[in-house]
Chain A
Amino acid sequence: MGIEAVVLLFVVGLFLVGSAVIFAHFFAPKSENHSKFEAYECGIPVRDGAWMQFNVGYYMYALIYLVFDVEIVFLFPWAEVMHDMGTSAFVEVVIFFAVLGLGLAYAWKKNALKWQ
């Protein structure tokens, strides 16, 4: 099977979740109770929602991740032709990695990889 298998798998996944949720919708019991539909907070009354401003300590990692993930996308086609291209491909990737390693070292030096 060719690329149409992607569509097939998508539909099968949709069917699995959809049918089970619809089944539960019809056959599962329902009852109304105010505290049942509040967010779980270990039994104490809920204070405010969760949609507020707070410091996401991970955003620096996300930025560095963006850089490296794009680099990896560039590396995949290189890896495929590495075998045939030989020395020139190797020299190029050494230069590429030198720049990349410099970037990582800079981020490291600037404490971007430190938890705070």
Chain B
Amino acid sequence: MNLYDFSSLTQSIHQGLSAMMAPAWVTVTEMVLVGVVFLLFYALVGLALVYIERKVCAFIQNRLGPNRVGPYGLVQTVADLIKLLFKELLMVHKADKFLFNLAPFIVIIASFLAIGALPFAKGLQALDLNVGLFYIISVTSLTVLGILLAGWSSNSKYSLLGAMRSGAQVISYELSVGMSLLTIIIFSGSMQLSVIVDSQADGWWLFKGHVPAFIAFVIFLVASTAETNRGPFDMAEAESELTAGFHTEYSGIKFAFFFLAEYMNMFLAAALAATVFLGGWQPLHFGGLEAFNRVMDFIPPLVWFFGKTFALIYIIMLFKWTFPRLRIDQLLTLEWKYLLPINLVNILVVSWVVLKGWHF
């Protein structure tokens, strides 16, 4: 099905540019194009997610949410961003100035590096490494470095406690994220994201992989919610205990970047779950229902990708607004005494299933 193949588009852009200028300039122009597209995409998704979260929160708490700025309050987050841009940048006098300024760079760059490797549609992927999944896991774990630096360099007790909690939480749940993704690598036999998506053309791994894939999917959702420091696992910035956790001392646009990075990490987690377990941009197919499959093929892959991603984001947001916050010892117990042993057994079951060829 090549109805919506983006590689022809990128090729025609490449050819059009080659006809106009020297090869070196073509590369530079393409780089700038991709960079601008990513920048716009990042800002747009970030703003949209803040708006969606406030609306979901309002819906659950039986309020209206933002509804004054623009139609349905759609421009509210833009207004907030402009306000934050013109706010004074405060810094504690006794803080470590270099590390304090470095921390927002690290969190934003880490999320940028990870989002670049996502396959949005066929041929629409900036970075298709043969170790794609491994790359994303390793790059996202850089975020904890930024959080620890932010907390420590502020020279504030709330920040330090928040950063320490966050460090313990993120590294613990990183294990579960890695292990639940491992099951799909065993199934598909590749770490390359485009290959993993292609292997789901006849059915998503959530359905093809029987029960173990479903267990891995649930574990991934829980663990990645915890890894992105979102409620009910938002111990790092528990408002009622630690003011704002690791970014207590940040103000203005630097604070906004921590906020933005958190939302983009949530987008990344949902997009990764959609790509690996729910077929990415592949349409929903059922074996034997030829007519149904044809109809599904006509829905563009970008719609499929973002539909799945935002459905998962909605679930993650529901987690935050409906569950009470866990205590830190309950959180670590959940990871080390439940998720980790279940994951180890699950991987063994998956490799047995693959060995016997029981998956579809």
Contacts and interface: CB of A to CB of B under 8 A. Distances in A.
Contact of A101 (B86, B165, B344): B344
A10, A12, A79, A82 interface centre (most CB from chain B within 10 Å): A79
Contact of B39 (A5, A16, A40, A108): A16
Contact of A97 (B34, B91, B344): B344
A49 interface: yes
Given A24-B85, A24-B253, A72-B178, 11 more contacts: A1-B126, A8-B31, A21-B101, A25-B89, A76-B131, A80-B190, A82-B351, A97-B344, A101-B344, A108-B337, A113-B333
A75 B186 CA distance: 10
B42 interface: yes
A51 B156 CA distance: 8
B113 interface: yes
B243 to A, nearest CB: 6
B310 to A, nearest CB: 23
Given A21-B254, A39-B155, A61-B172, A13 B34 contact: no
A20 B85 contact: yes
Interface residues of B, number: 79
Contact of B126 (A9, A14, A27): A9
A40 B248 contact: yes
Contact of A9 (B116, B168, B329): B116
Given A12-B112, A82-B354, A39 B175 contact: no
B239 to A, nearest CB: 13
Interface string B218-252: 00000000000000000000000001000011001
Interface string B24-37: 00000011001100
Interface of B: 30-31, 34-35, 38-39, 42-43, 85-94, 101, 104-105, 108-109, 111-113, 115-116, 126-127, 129, 131, 134, 152, 154-160, 164-165, 167-168, 171-172, 174-175, 178-179, 182, 185-186, 189-191, 243, 248-249, 252-254, 257, 328-329, 332-333, 336-337, 340-341, 344, 347-348, 351-352, 354-355
Interface of A is mostly: helix
- Chain A residues touching B, range: 35 or more
B147 to A, nearest CB: 14
Contacts of A12: 35, 38-39, 112
25 contacts: A1-B127, A12-B39, A13-B109, A13-B113, A14-B109, A16-B42, A16-B108, A17-B257, A24-B85, A27-B86, A37-B90, A39-B92, A39-B155, A39-B159, A39-B249, A50-B154, A61-B168, A61-B332, A62-B171, A76-B131, A82-B351, A93-B347, A94-B348, A97-B347, A100-B344
B85 to A, nearest CB: 6
Nearest to A34: B93
Nearest to B104: A17
Contact of A11 (B35, B111, B252): B35
